[in-house]
C-alpha cells in the first residue's frame, strides 16, 4: 500500500508560474536550481505562485520545523512586495501525535502555533494555513502547510465591515494592498528602533502610536483586521490587539492575542524582559506623568477567564523567538542606484546599509548577492544579515536594467523616410517600427543590424510616426528597449494642372490643383525657363501676377510646402502676355471720323470697333491689316450723332490671330 501511495504522490519538487514584461520565463531546471536552497526560494513576480512540495514520509517535528522555518525565514527576511503562495507537504504512515485524525490534527495545530509567530513576523497578510488529509480510513495522512503573502493574486486586500448592532446598515469595504500594510509596519518598527533604547520603550512606543492614531469605532465591529487600525485609523478591540501583535513581532518581541468569546473582547499579551504583560487599549490606565506606563499591567482580570489559551501560546511564542536579540536587516535603510543601462555584462550596484543611523559593515554585518543582473529587465540585490554578528533575515532590493534609447534623426522623402541613429553598445540590433493611427499602437517593420534604414512605399505628403528601439537576443528570448520616435510628414507630391486665366497685357492669374497636405505654395517666375526667382508664397491654389510686360513670354512653376518640407516643382508653364492697349484719339468731320493710335510693338494689324452706344453693343469693326499703319477713317456715319470707339492690336501665331486688349473707349460726335 505504501509503495502504491508513493507512486501516486510522487510530486515534481518545484513548479513555478511567472510572467515578466521584460524578462524571460524561467525554465524548469532554472526554477529547481533557484528554489533548491531556502535562501533563494522567493522569486519576485507580479502574480507569482511558488510551489515548494517537500516529499517526506514520517518527518519528525524537528524536520517539519526545519523546512517550514527555513522557507519562512527566506520569505520573511525581506519586506515582500508581491503576492506569493508556497505549499509544503509531508506524508505519514502514522501520526507523530496519534494515529487518529483528530489527535493528529490537534498536534499539527500546535506545530502551526510555533510556526505562526515566526511566519507572521512581518504582517498578518503573510498567512499560514494548515490542513491534513486522511487516506485508507486514517492509515495514512498528508500534512499540508500553505503560506500566503500579500492578499490575493491581484495584490488587493478588501476588508468588509459594518456596525454589528445595526444589521440593516450597508456593509462597507476598505481596500488596500499588502505592501502598504508591510510598509507601515516597517516604518513604525524602524522609527522605534531609532528612538527607543530597549524592548519596553518599543512596546510603549507602539501602544502610544495606536492610542493616538487609531480611533475606537464600533462601525468596524465586524472586522478585527489590524489594517483598519494601522491604515484607516478606525478599529475595535481585535484590531488594536492584532496591530500591536504585528508591530511587536516585527520588532522581535513576542506577543499574542487572547480572546474571551463570552465577553466578546480581545487584548494583547506581550513578553518583555522575561515577563508577560497585558496590553488593552480599550481599557487604558494612563499615568498622570504622561509616560504611559499604565499601558501595561501584569495581573489582569481579563486573562483569568482565558488562562488556558494564554498559557499554551506563551510557551510556543517564547520558544520561537530565538532571534529576539538580533536585528532583522529588512528593518534597515538602504541606499543604492536603482536604474542602470544594459552593458552586456553583470551589473552589481553598490549598496549602503544603515540601522538607526549607523552604517553597517559589508562582509561583517551583512553580505550582498546579485541575480537577474545581466539582461534588460529587473535585477535583484539580496542583502542578508550575518547572524553571528547580530543581524538576521534578508532584504531583496530591485533595480532596473534598461536598454538605452537611440538618438534618432530622420530625413523625409516624397514616398520614403531615411532614418539614422547612433549605435548602442552591446545590442544585437534594432527594431524599426511604425505607428498605426487606426489601432493606436506600433507595428514592427524590420530588424536592422546597422544604424540606418530607409522606410519605403509611403504616401507623399502624409503624416507618419516612426520609431527605433534596440534589442538583445539570448537563448531564444528577445529583450526590447524603449522607443525613440519621430513624427514627420513625407514631402508633398508634384503640383498638377498649372494654367493661366484672365491674361492681360500686364497681368495674369495662375491656378493649379489644390493639395490637402500643402500648408502653402511657392510660385516661381522666369523669362527664359532657366533662371528662376520666387514670385510669391501663397496659401491658396491661385495667384494673380501683376506688373508684367506686354506681349512677352514668361515661364511659371509651382511647388507645395508642408510640415514635411518642400515638394517637387510642377512642370513649367509658358504664358505670353497680351499686346499693349493702344492710346486712341479721333477727329470728326461731316459724316465721318478719323481714328488714330500709337504703333503697338509686334502688331500685324489692328481692329477698330465703333458703336452708337457706350457699352459697344452691336458694334461694327474695321480691320487694318498693316502693323505700321496707325489710323483709319470711319465713313457713312450719321451727322450730329455720338459714337463710341475703341482699338486693339493683333498678331498672327501659327496662322491664327491673337488679339491684344482693347483700348479705352472714347466718344466722338459726328459733324
Which of 150, 156, 197, 196 has the alpha carbon at shortest distance from 176? 156
Q: What is the pLDDT of residues 217-234, one digit of tens each?
A: 888 877 888 889 999 999
Q: What is the pLDDT of residue 516?
A: 80
Quote the cell numbers at residue 38.
531556502
- Say whether pLDDT at 134 is over 50: yes
% helix, strand, coil for the chain, step of 5: 20, 40, 40
Task: Evaluate whether 670 touches 591 at the Cβ level (below 8 Å).
Answer: yes
Which range of 169-183, 441-455, 477-491 scores highest in mean pLDDT? It is 441-455
Q: At the fourth CATH level, which superfamily is domain 408-488? A: Immunoglobulins (2.60.40.10)
Other C-beta atoms closer than 10 Å to the C-beta of 168 total: 6
Which of 283, 327, 315 has the alpha carbon at shortest distance from 301? 283
Q: What is the pLDDT of residue 160?
A: 79
Task: Evaluate whether 378 touches 397 at the Cβ level (below 8 Å).
Answer: no
The whole-angstrom separation of Cα 598 and Cα 139 is: 134
- The answer to which of 41-45, 67-71, 319-323 has the lowest mean pLDDT is 41-45
Same fold, 408-488 and 584-669: yes
The whole-angstrom separation of Cα 332 and Cα 345 is: 29
Q: pTM for this one? A: 0.42
The whole-angstrom separation of Cα 400 and Cα 377 is: 6
Helix and strand counts by DSSP (H, E) for the chain: 10, 48
Determine the straight-line distance between the first and last CA of the chain, rounded to whole angstroms. Answer: 147
Q: Any idea what DSSP says for residue 571?
A: P
| Angle (CA) 99 100 106, round 5° | 100
Q: What is the pLDDT of residue 27?
A: 39
CATH code of the domain occupying 499-576: 2.60.40.10
DSSP per-residue letters across 198-262: SHHHHHHHHHHHHHHH-EE-GGGTT---HHIIIIISEE-HHHHHHHHHHHHHHTT--EE--EETT
Q: What is the pLDDT of residue 125?
A: 57
Q: What is the pLDDT of residues 244-255, one digit of tens each?
A: 988 887 787 888
Give just the sign of the alpha carbon dihedral 560, 561, 562, 567.
Answer: positive
Residue-wise burial string across 367-391, b where 16 or more C-beta atoms lie within 10 A, e elsewhere: ebebebbbbbbbbbbbbbbbeeeeb
The whole-angstrom separation of Cα 270 and Cα 296 is: 9
The domains of the chain are located at 2-149, 156-325, 328-402, 408-488, 499-576, 584-669
Q: What is the pLDDT of residue 97?
A: 59
More confident residue, 292 or 236: 236
Sheet holding 84-92, edge to edge: 84-92, 140-149, 126-135
* pLDDT confidence bin for 56, thresholds 50/70/90: low
- Say whether pLDDT at 328 is over 70: yes
Q: What is the pLDDT of residues 382-432, one digit of tens each?
A: 999 998 888 877 888 999 998 889 999 999 888 899 999 999 888 999 999
Q: What is the pLDDT of residue 278?
A: 80
Q: What is the pLDDT of residues 262-301, one digit of tens each?
A: 667 788 888 887 777 788 888 765 543 344 455 776 644 4
User: Which value, in Å, is the radius of gyration of the alpha carbons in the chain?
Assistant: 48
Mean pLDDT of all residues in 465-489: 90
The whole-angstrom separation of Cα 271 and Cα 41 is: 31
Task: Evaluate whether 358 touches 341 at the Cβ level (below 8 Å).
Answer: no
Q: What is the pLDDT of residues 138-153, one digit of tens each?
A: 566 677 777 665 555 5
Q: At the fourth CATH level, which superfamily is domain 584-669? A: Immunoglobulins (2.60.40.10)
The whole-angstrom separation of Cα 208 and Cα 388 is: 33
CATH code of the domain occupying 156-325: 3.10.620
- Say whether pLDDT at 59 is over 90: no
More confident residue, 289 or 553: 553
Each as own residue / partner, the long-range contacts of residues 480-483 (CB below 8 Å, 24 or more positions apart, any chain) are 480/22, 480/376, 480/403, 480/431, 481/342, 481/376, 481/402, 481/403, 481/404, 481/405, 481/424, 481/427, 482/402, 482/403, 482/405, 483/405, 483/433, 483/442
Quote the cell numbers at residue 153.
493574486
The whole-angstrom separation of Cα 129 and Cα 136 is: 24
Q: Is 222 exposed, middle or buried (0-12, 13-18, 19+ CB in 10 A)?
A: middle
Which of 422, 400, 296 has the alpha carbon at shortest distance from 338? 400
The whole-angstrom separation of Cα 278 and Cα 256 is: 10
Q: What is the pLDDT of residue 29?
A: 43
- Overall size of the chain counted in residues: 671
- The answer to which of 71-75, 529-533, 594-598 has the lowest mean pLDDT is 71-75
The whole-angstrom separation of Cα 152 and Cα 160 is: 15
Q: What is the pLDDT of residue 44?
A: 35
Local structure of 167: helix, strand or coil:
coil
Q: Is 469 exposed, middle or buried (0-12, 13-18, 19+ CB in 10 A)?
A: buried
Query: What is the fold, at CATH topology level, of the domain defined by 328-402?
Result: Immunoglobulin-like (2.60.40)
Q: Is 257 exposed, middle or buried (0-12, 13-18, 19+ CB in 10 A)?
A: buried
Over pLDDT 90: what percentage of the chain?
38
Q: Any idea what DSSP says for residue 413?
A: -
Distances in Å between the alpha carbon of 390 and those of 11, 73, 328?
38, 16, 9
Task: Evaluate whether 326 touches 360 at the Cβ level (below 8 Å).
Answer: no
Task: Evaluate whether 315 touches 307 at the Cβ level (below 8 Å).
Answer: no
Q: What is the pLDDT of residues 590-604, one digit of tens each?
A: 999 999 999 999 999
Strand residue runs (E) in 358-516: 358-359, 366-371, 377-385, 391-392, 394-402, 408-412, 417-421, 429-436, 441-448, 452-455, 463-474, 477-480, 484-489, 499-501, 508-511
Strand residue runs (E) in 59-171: 84-92, 126-135, 140-149, 156-161
- Say whether pLDDT at 548 is over 90: yes
* pLDDT confidence bin for 37, thresholds 50/70/90: very low
Q: Is 24 exposed, middle or buried (0-12, 13-18, 19+ CB in 10 A)?
A: middle
Q: What is the pLDDT of residues 367-383, one digit of tens each?
A: 999 999 988 888 999 99
Amino acid at each position: 500500500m505504501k509503495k502504491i501511495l508513493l507512486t501516486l504522490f510522487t510530486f515534481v519538487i518545484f513548479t513555478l508560474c511567472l510572467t515578466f514584461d521584460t524578462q524571460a520565463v524561467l525554465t524548469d531546471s532554472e526554477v529547481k536550481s533557484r528554489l533548491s536552497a531556502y535562501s533563494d526560494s522567493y522569486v519576485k513576480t507580479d502574480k507569482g505562485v511558488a510551489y515548494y512540495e517537500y516529499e517526506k514520509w514520517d518527518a519528525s517535528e524537528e524536520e517539519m520545523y526545519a523546512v517550514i522555518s527555513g522557507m519562512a525565514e527566506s520569505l520573511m527576511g525581506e519586506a515582500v512586495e508581491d503576492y506569493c503562495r508556497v505549499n509544503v507537504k509531508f506524508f505519514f504512515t502514522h501520526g507523530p501525535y496519534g494515529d487518529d485524525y483528530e489527535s493528529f490534527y490537534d498536534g499539527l495545530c500546535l506545530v502551526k502555533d510555533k510556526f505562526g509567530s515566526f511566519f507572521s513576523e512581518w504582517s498578518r497578510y503573510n498567512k499560514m494555513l494548515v490542513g491534513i488529509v486522511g487516506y485508507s480510513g486514517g492509515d495514512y495522512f498528508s500534512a499540508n502547510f500553505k503560506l500566503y503573502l500579500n492578499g490575493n493574486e491581484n495584490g488587493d486586500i478588501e476588508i468588509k465591515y459594518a456596525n454589528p448592532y445595526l444589521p440593516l446598515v450597508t456593509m462597507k469595504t476598505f481596500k488596500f494592498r499588502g505592501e502598504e500594510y508591510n510598509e507601515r509596519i516597517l516604518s513604525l518598527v524602524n522609527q522605534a528602533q531609532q528612538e527607543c533604547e530597549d524592548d519596553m520603550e518599543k512596546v510603549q512606543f507602539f501602544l502610544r502610536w495606536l492610542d493616538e492614531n487609531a480611533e475606537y469605532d464600533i462601525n468596524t465591529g465586524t472586522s478585527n483586521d489590524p489594517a483598519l487600525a494601522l491604515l484607516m485609523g478606525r478599529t475595535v478591540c481585535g484590531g488594536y490587539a492584532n496591530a500591536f501583535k504585528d508591530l511587536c513581532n516585527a520588532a522581535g518581541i513576542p506577543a499574542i492575542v487572547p480572546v474571551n468569546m463570552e465577553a466578546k473582547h480581545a487584548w494583547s499579551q506581550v513578553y518583555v524582559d522575561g515577563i508577560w504583560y497585558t496590553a488593552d487599549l480599550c481599557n487604558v490606565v494612563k499615568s498622570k506623568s504622561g509616560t504611559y506606563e499604565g499601558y501595561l499591567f501584569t495581573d489582569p482580570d481579563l486573562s483569568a477567564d482565558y488562562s488556558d489559551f494564554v498559557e499554551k501560546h506563551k510557551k510556543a511564542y517564547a520558544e520561537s523567538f530565538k532571534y529576539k536579540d538580533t536585528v532583522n536587516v529588512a528593518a534597515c535603510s538602504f541606499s543604492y542606484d536603482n536604474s542602470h543601462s544594459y552593458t552586456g555584462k553583470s551589473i552589481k550596484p553598490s549598496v549602503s546599509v544603515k540601522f538607526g543611523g549607523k552604517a553597517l559593515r559589508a562582509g561583517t554585518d551583512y553580505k550582498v548577492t546579485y541575480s537577474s543582473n545581466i539582461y534588460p529587465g529587473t535585477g535583484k540585490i539580496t542583502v542578508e544579515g550575518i547572524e553571528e554578528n547580530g543581524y538576521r533575515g534578508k532584504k531583496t532590493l530591485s533595480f532596473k536594467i534598461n536598454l538605452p534609447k537611440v538618438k534618432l534623426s530622420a530625413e523625409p522623402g516624397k514616398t520614403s523616410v531615411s532614418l539614422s541613429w547612433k549605435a548602442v553598445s552591446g545590442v544585437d540590433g534594432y527594431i524599426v517600427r511604425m505607428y498605426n493611427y487606426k489601432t493606436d499602437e506600433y507595428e514592427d517593420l524590420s530588424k536592422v543590424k546597422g544604424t540606418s534604414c530607409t522606410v519605403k512605399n509611403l504616401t507623399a505628403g502624409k503624416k507618419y510616426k516612426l520609431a527605433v528601439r534596440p534589442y538583445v537576443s539570448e537563448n531564444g528570448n528577445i529583450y526590447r528597449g524603449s522607443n525613440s520616435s519621430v513624427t514627420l510628414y513625407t514631402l508633398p507630391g508634384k503640383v498638377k494642372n498649372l494654367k493661366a486665366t484672365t491674361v492681360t497685357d500686364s497681368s495674369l492669374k495662375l491656378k493649379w490643383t489644390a493639395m490637402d497636405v500643402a500648408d502653402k505654395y511657392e510660385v516661381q517666375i522666369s523669362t527664359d525657363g532657366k533662371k528662376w526667382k520666387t514670385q510669391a508664397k501663397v496659401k491658396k491654389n491661385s495667384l494673380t501676377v501683376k506688373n508684367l510686360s506686354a506681349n512677352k513670354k514668361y515661364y511659371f512653376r509651382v511647388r507645395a510646402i508642408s510640415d514635411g518640407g518642400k515638394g517637387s516643382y510642377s512642370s513649367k508653364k509658358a504664358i505670353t502676355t497680351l499686346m499693349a492697349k493702344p492710346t486712341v484719339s479721333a477727329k470728326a468731320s461731316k459724316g465721318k471720323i478719323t481714328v488714330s493710335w500709337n504703333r503697338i510693338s509686334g502688331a500685324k494689324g489692328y481692329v477698330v470697333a465703333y458703336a452708337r452706344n457706350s457699352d459697344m453693343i452691336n458694334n461694327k469693326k474695321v480691320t487694318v491689316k498693316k502693323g505700321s499703319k496707325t489710323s483709319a477713317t470711319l465713313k457713312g456715319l450719321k451727322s450730329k450723332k455720338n459714337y463710341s470707339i475703341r482699338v486693339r492690336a493683333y498678331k498672327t501665331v501659327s496662322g491664327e490671330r491673337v488679339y491684344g486688349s482693347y483700348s479705352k473707349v472714347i466718344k466722338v460726335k459726328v459733324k
